[in-house]
Amino acid sequence: MKIVRFLYEGAEYKGRIESDSVTGSLSGKTERSFGLDEIKLLPPVRPSKIVCVGLNYFDHAEELGMNVPDEPVIFLKPVSSLIGAYDRIMHPTVSDRVDFEGELAVVIGKEARKVAPLAAKGYILGYSCFNDVTARDLQKKDGQWTRSKSYDTFAPLGPCVDTDIDPEDLEIKTLINGNIRQFSRTSNLIFSVEKLVSFISNVMTLFPGDVIATGTPGGIGPMGIGDKVVVKIEGVGELENTVYQDDL
């Protein structure tokens, strides 16, 4: 099942994608079908937090000339940075370089605290596409990652949560204006989905709807004003956003 949240005539619905339409309901009322051109997709969940993982693909570590970490490196993005499919990514005026980082996102399905790796899949609702947008120059300037990762619109998520996909070996790629810039498979993850859920849940309690962004493969690079950015994950879908210049 591909779970979505969307707006129709100003009201928020929950539903699922079925071929070229969406079936959904308002506050548990009778379901009805909508055309994709009738609705506005929202981020598919409302997380209490977005937990991101740095340096979690072997090809990305090789690209950067860095050693493979002994344990996951994690950081947080604020929920205020969350946007959905087809929303616009803001390019802050204070940054000269804003990068894409296409990633597989794990969405938590039930409260998870101190979960063992072998039990981790039982706490997962499903998977989505994520773009860990980063002001790369500010990341280097600050020496830590909070500002560079936290601007409004810097956490695109969607278009859905796929509850049936097996995350072990999915093709993942990022395209800029139709040109492939990142290409890898989730089998290249250094730390598996189960390891990440276990590790993070032993640091902080994870709640239903929380998002874990599992890290980006090699090939990261900048986005320009007007660029169309697509994160595409096999079986999950395509997360499309465009970049605009902040006018403040």
* Domain harbouring 84, CATH code: 3.90.850.10
**16 and 105 inside one domain:** no
Distance separating alpha carbons of residues 206 and 120, to the nearest angstrom: 12
The pLDDT of 52-60, averaged and rounded, is: 88
Give the pLDDT of residue 166: 97
Q: In which element (H, E) is residue 171 found?
A: strand 171-176
Give the pLDDT of residue 86: 97
Give the pLDDT of residue 24: 94
**24 and 106 inside one domain:** no
**155 and 132 inside one domain:** yes
Q: Please state, for a pLDDT cut of 70, what percent of the chain lies above it.
A: 99
Question: Looking at residue 37, which CATH number applies to its domain?
Answer: 2.30.30
The answer, yes or no, to whether residue 230 has pLDDT greater than 60, is yes
Give the pLDDT of residue 102: 98
The model's pLDDT over 174-197, given as tens digits with 9 standing for 90+, comes to 999 999 999 999 999 999 999 999
**7 and 81 inside one domain:** no
The answer, yes or no, to whether residue 231 has pLDDT greater than 80, is yes
Q: In which element (H, E) is residue 231 found?
A: strand 228-233
**20 and 122 inside one domain:** no
The pLDDT of 63-91, averaged and rounded, is: 92
**35 and 93 inside one domain:** no
Give the pLDDT of residue 248: 55
- Please tell me the total count of domains within the chain: 2
The pLDDT of 88-116, averaged and rounded, is: 97
Query: At 142, is the secondary structure helix, strand, or coil?
Result: helix
Q: Residue 78 corresponds to which tokens in the numbers above? A: 């604020």
**50 and 23 inside one domain:** no
Mean pLDDT for the chain? 95
**24 and 79 inside one domain:** no
More confident residue, 143 or 110: 110
Give the pLDDT of residue 184: 96
The pLDDT of 162-166, averaged and rounded, is: 97
The pLDDT of 199-206, averaged and rounded, is: 98
Residue 151: pLDDT band by 50, 70, 90 thresholds?
very high
Give the pLDDT of residue 19: 83
Give the pLDDT of residue 20: 85
**Rg of the chain taking only CA atoms, in angstroms:** 17
**127 and 224 inside one domain:** yes
- Say which range, 52-61, 120-129, 136-145, 235-244, has the weakest mean pLDDT: 52-61
Determine how many CB atoms are found less than 10 A away from the CB of residue 10.
Answer: 6
0.85 cut: is pTM over it? yes
Query: At 236, is the secondary structure helix, strand, or coil?
Result: coil
Q: List the domain range (segments joined by +) for residue 22.
A: 1-42
Q: Which residue has the tokens 């900048």?
A: 222
C-alpha distances out from residue 211 to 78, 196, 204, 206, 220, Å: 11, 11, 13, 9, 21
Residue 69: pLDDT band by 50, 70, 90 thresholds?
confident
**25 and 122 inside one domain:** no
**115 and 48 inside one domain:** yes
Residue 156: pLDDT band by 50, 70, 90 thresholds?
very high
The answer, yes or no, to whether residue 165 has pLDDT greater than 80, is yes
C-alpha distances out from residue 176 to 88, 134, 136, 180, Å: 14, 15, 17, 7
Give the pLDDT of residue 28: 75
**60 and 24 inside one domain:** no
